[in-house]
Amino acid sequence: MNKNGLYILLGALIVIIIGFSIYTYQQESKPKGVELKIGEQGVSIEQN
């Protein structure tokens, strides 16, 4: 594999790691409890 291929592979891995880190942070920072949504489909209640 040439250098350009290695750089592309390394860049893709870095992007995946950053994306997974952001996703995990957002999931961990969600408030615990009950979530109430009022929309066009009506009222929905979800327990976190």
| Separation between Cα atoms, residue 48 and residue 45, nearest integer Å | 10
| Separation between Cα atoms, residue 5 and residue 23, nearest integer Å | 27
| Percent residues over pLDDT 90 in the chain | 46
- Name the residue with higher pLDDT: 39 or 30: 39
| Percent residues over pLDDT 70 in the chain | 96
- Name the residue with higher pLDDT: 1 or 46: 46
pTM above 0.85, yes or no: no
CA angle (26, 36, 25) in 5-degree steps: 5
Q: Give tens-digit pLDDT for 14-25.
A: 999 999 999 999
Radius of gyration, CA atoms only, the chain: 19
**Token pair of 27, please?**
């999931």
For the chain, which residues make up each domain, given as ranges?
Answer: 3-47
